Amino acid sequence: MTTTAVLTPIETVKTFLSNTTNPDVIRTVVAPDATYISLNYDDPELQRIMPWCGTKKGAEVFIDNFAMVWECWEALEFKPREIFGSGEDVAVFGSFTYKSKALAQTVTTPFSILAKVKDGMIYFFQFMEDTFATAGSFRIGSAGKYQSFPKNPPFEVTRPKVTTMQAFVLEGNGPETLRLHSLAIPQPADGEVLIRTKAISLNPVDIATMKIEAVRNGLYGAANGEDVIVGWDVAGDVVVAGASVKGLKAGDRVFGCIKFPGQGKAYAEYATAPADQLAIIPEGVSYESAAAASMAAITPYGALVGKGKVSKKDKVLIHGAAGGVGHFAVQIAKSFGAYVIGTASGANLDFVKSIGADQVIDYRKEKFEDVVKDADLVLDSIDAANLLRSLDTVKKGGRVVSLKAQFEGDLDQKAKAKGVTGIRFGVYSNGADQQKIADLLASGKIRPVVFKAFTFAELPQAVAAMATVGYGKIVVTLG
Ligand SMILES: NC(=O)c1ccc[n+]([C@@H]2O[C@H](COP(=O)([O-])OP(=O)(O)OC[C@H]3O[C@@H](n4cnc5c(N)ncnc54)[C@H](OP(=O)(O)O)[C@@H]3O)[C@@H](O)[C@H]2O)c1
Rounded to the nearest whole angstrom, what is the distance from the C-alpha of residue 471 to the centroid of ligand 1?
10
For residues 435 and 232, give the distance between their C-alpha atoms in angstroms, rounded to a whole number: 17
For residues 444-466, average pLDDT = 97
pLDDT at 470: 84
Q: Lowest mean pLDDT: which of 13-22, 175-184, 208-217, 348-357?
A: 208-217
Average pLDDT over residues 18-41: 93
* Cα–Cα distance measured from residue 8 to residue 90, given in angstroms and rounded to the nearest whole number: 10
Residues whose CB is less than 8 angstroms from the CB of residue 199 and which lie 6 or more positions away in sequence, other chains included: 234, 235, 236, 286, 287, 288, 290, 291, 292, 475, 476, 477, 478
Listed range (223-237, 408-422, 430-444) with the worst mean pLDDT: 223-237
Counting from 1 in the atom list of ligand 1, the atom nearest the Cα of 344 is 40
Question: In the sheet where 359-362 sits, what is the strand order?
Answer: 359-362, 339-344, 315-318, 375-380, 394-402, 421-424
Please give the distance, rounded to the nearest whole angstrom, from the Cα atom of residue 456 to the centre of ligand 1: 24
pLDDT of residue 160: 64
Q: How confident is the model at residue 458 (pLDDT cuts 50, 70, 90)?
A: very high
- Domain borders along the chain are 9-156, 164-292+464-477, 297-424
Residue 185 has phi, psi (to 5 degrees) of -65, 130
pLDDT of 318 > 80? The answer is: yes
The whole-number pLDDT of residue 167 equals 97
54 close to 126: Cβ distance less than 8 angstroms = no
Res. 181: pLDDT tops 60: yes
* Separation of alpha carbons 231 and 262, rounded Å: 10
pLDDT tens sequence across 252-301: 999 999 999 999 999 999 999 999 999 999 999 999 999 999 999 999 99
pLDDT in tens, 88-100: 999 999 999 999 9
Nearest CA to ligand 1 atom 2: 426
Q: What tens digit of pLDDT does each residue of 414-427 get?
A: 999 999 999 999 99
**Residue 267 backbone phi and psi in degrees, to 5:** -80, 60
Local structure of residue 313 (DSSP, 8 states): T
Tell me, rounded to whole angstroms, the distance of Cα 96 from its chain centroid. 37
Give me the pLDDT at residue 4, please: 67
CA–CA distance, 181 with 169 (Å, rounded to integer): 6
170 CB burial (10 A radius; 0-12, 13-18, 19+)? buried
CATH fold label, 9-156: Nuclear Transport Factor 2; Chain: A, (3.10.450)
Q: What percent of the chain has pLDDT over 90?
A: 84
**Phi, psi at 30, each rounded to 5°:** -120, 130
Paired residues of 237 in beta bridges: 196, 253
Q: How far apart are CA 285 and CA 298, in angstroms?
A: 17
The yes-or-no verdict on residue 251 having pLDDT over 80 is yes
Q: How far is the CA of 326 from the centre of ligand 1 (A)?
A: 7
> For the chain, what is the mean pLDDT?
94
Q: What is the mean pLDDT of residues 112-141?
A: 95
> Which range among 158-162, 225-229, 275-279 has the greatest average pLDDT?
275-279
The yes-or-no verdict on residue 2 having pLDDT over 60 is no
pLDDT at residue 207, rounded to an integer: 95
Cross-strand pairs, 386? none
Please state the pTM of the whole predicted model.
0.73
**Ligand 1 pocket mutation pick from 207, 219, 305, 325 by most atoms within 8 angstroms of CB:** 325
Instruction: Provide CB contacts within 8 A for 348, sequence distance 6+.
Output: 321, 322, 470, 471
Rounded to the nearest 10 degrees, the angle between the axes of helix 324-335 and helix 431-442 is: 70
Query: Residue 420's closest CA among 334, 317, 338?
Result: 317
| pLDDT tens digit sequence for 103-125 | 999 999 999 999 999 999 999 99
Instruction: Convert the pLDDT of each residue in 296-317 to its tens digit.
Output: 999 999 999 999 999 999 999 9
CA of 153 to the centre of ligand 1 (A): 66
Has residue 215 got a pLDDT over 50?
A: yes
Among 3.30.70.270, 2.60.40.10, 3.40.1440.10, 3.90.180.10, name the CATH number for the domain at 164-292+464-477: 3.90.180.10
Q: Domain 297-424: which CATH class?
A: alpha beta
Q: What is the rounded distance in angstroms from the CA atom of residue 401 to the CA atom of residue 308?
A: 7
- Chain centroid to CA 225: 31
